[in-house]
Amino acid sequence: MASSSIAIIGGGLAGLSAAAALAERGLPVELFERRDRLGGRAGAFWEPTAGQWIDFGQHVLMGCCRQMLHFCRQTGLDRFLRRYPELYFLDPQGRTCRLQGVCWLPAPLHLLPAFLRLGFLSWEDRLKTLRGFLRLMRPASQPEDLSFGDWLRQQGQTSSAVEKFWTPVVLSALADLPERTAFSTTRKVFVEGFLTSRDAYHLLRPTMAWGQLLDEHLGRQLAQEGVLVHRRTSVRLIDGDRREVQGLVLNDGTRRRFDFYILAVPWRRAAGLLAPNLVETIPNLAQAALLEPGSIVTWHLWLDRPITELPQSAVVGKSIQWVFAGPRGERSGGDASSGGKADLPERFHAAYPAPLREENCQTNSSSDGSNPRIGPPKIGGRGYYYQVLVSGTHALPRSSIPQTVEEVLRELAEIFPATKEAKLLAHRRVHMVEAVFSPRPGVEKIRPGQKTSILNLALAGDWTATGWPATMEGAVRSGYQAAQIALEHGGF
């Protein structure tokens, strides 16, 4: 069956990892992506005011994301990754606490000395938090409907430890509040991220926008390996009998037939693309469409001067949660590695307006609304680029979410005084309404597996049953798993 042809629907990380795995085996693959760029939620758009590709929001990897790191090595993206073996927490007055492992201590003891120095926690909070970690390592069996918030209460965690430590970590990892997230999923974040190995907590970020890497670098590589990538090509319907998919229909009405199909679209779309008789045969698929979304707001700022030396900071006790410098905290429009405009072919500048029409993405900015495709960037390659993130905005009270760029700058000035002197050159607020699915208690029961009862169909996506929350790691795991199912189907 060497000529087996495989269709992948969706060009996010799940679809791309499946494509990379199959292309490596020399299989004929066609990938259909609705948008004009690859990357999905980890994608980028052209910001005309700054003249720069920017991600919808900063994505970070942790050292524990083993499959995603494997994917980066497999595709050569790893040479763009920068590893940070230290985490910086800033208290409301801007005092820095550094969390860095001790290299001669084995996990999970490697972080103990740094943890005991976390000055933004009182001694009582530090000890309570450590006791919480010990309990997470050996949890008693817990009911599936237990929330992490309930568990923290059961453990007698103080309200200040919950507010200053547990909640910020849960919000940044899961985009939701501890009282709304499942104990089992949340436990995984803490165990995998802090306890399993010495490098698990390391942060990794690329030196340019993820979306640029995925669309340009990886898109080119997949094409060289023989994958036919169809951008701006929406699949409207996948039909068949209850045993087998017979074909797919594109938005323009074209019908295509393949030997195997990998459906790698977001949870809200998957069931809607399959004919009703196929949906019926896949347990939980219809229910998965009802998974609650979690939203993330990113303020992209361009300032006329640097405001901090720190590459990234977790902010405690304010409404802003994370501040990322850059990629690389460099001037926008800079050298090739900074993702600046100079190294992009002209057709890229012309073809892609900001994603104002994306239904999952609401943006507003300082641009005057003129046609974003025309003219030089308004800040002309000047500016230091920062991203300020607020995760879980769907669950937070409005009063704890900055509403204006002035509010964001005011908070930044409290932790980075240089902000007071800085001039804001441009800004854009990106609100990803369905950034992730929220891992509510009981959610694991309704995440469908990648293997389906339909012979030639596999599912992929961060929302399928991967054991991981909605992350790049989860997406890649699902993509690899779906590719494996396709290989087994084809008998390779």
Ligand X SMILES: Cc1cc2nc3c(=O)[nH]c(=O)nc-3n(C[C@H](O)[C@H](O)[C@H](O)COP(=O)(O)OP(=O)(O)OC[C@H]3O[C@@H](n4cnc5c(N)ncnc54)[C@H](O)[C@@H]3O)c2cc1C
Residues that bind ligand X (CB under 6 A): 9-15, 32-35, 40-42, 56-57, 59-60, 234-235, 264-266, 269, 273, 296, 298, 432, 435-436, 461-462, 470-473, 475
Least distance in angstroms from the C-beta of 305 to ligand X? 26
Least distance in angstroms from the C-beta of 109 to ligand X? 26
Least distance in angstroms from the C-beta of 235 to ligand X? 4
CA dist 288 → 10, 270, 444 (Å): 17, 9, 10
Q: What is the DSSP code string of 379-399? A: TTT--EEEEEEEE-TTTS-GG
Nearer to ligand X, 152 or 476 (CB): 476
Nearer to ligand X, 13 or 54 (CB): 13
> How many Å apart are CA 460 and CA 477, to the nearest integer?
9
Nearer to ligand X, 117 or 255 (CB): 255
CA dist 277 → 162, 244, 460, 463 (Å): 47, 11, 20, 22
Nearer to ligand X, 60 or 118 (CB): 60
> How many Å apart are CA 356 and CA 363, to the nearest integer?
6
Nearer to ligand X, 13 or 409 (CB): 13
User: Which region, left, alpha or beta, applies to residue 134 given φ > 0 means left and ψ of -120 to 50 means alpha?
Assistant: alpha
Nearer to ligand X, 169 or 413 (CB): 169
Nearer to ligand X, 121 or 174 (CB): 174
User: How many CA atoms lie within 13 Å of 449's alpha carbon, on the beta-carbon side?
Assistant: 7
Least distance in angstroms from the C-beta of 38 to ligand X? 7
CA dist 39 → 19, 162, 283, 385 (Å): 13, 34, 28, 21
Least distance in angstroms from the C-beta of 104 to ligand X? 30
**HEC readout, 32-57:** ECCCCCCCHHHCEEEECCCCEEEECC
Least distance in angstroms from the C-beta of 57 to ligand X? 3
Least distance in angstroms from the C-beta of 251 to ligand X? 8
Nearer to ligand X, 170 or 472 (CB): 472
CA dist 190 → 73, 135, 226, 395, 468 (Å): 25, 11, 40, 21, 12
Specify the DSSP class assigned to residue 345: -
The identity of residue 24, as a single letter, is: E
Cross-strand partners of 286: none
Least distance in angstroms from the C-beta of 155 to ligand X? 27
Least distance in angstroms from the C-beta of 229 to ligand X? 11
Per the listing, tokens 């019926």 go with 280
| Bond prior to 168 in cis (omega within 30° of 0) | no
Nearer to ligand X, 23 or 121 (CB): 23
Please list the alpha-helical segments (H only) found in 166-217.
Answer: 167-174, 183-190, 210-212
Specify the DSSP class assigned to residue 188: H
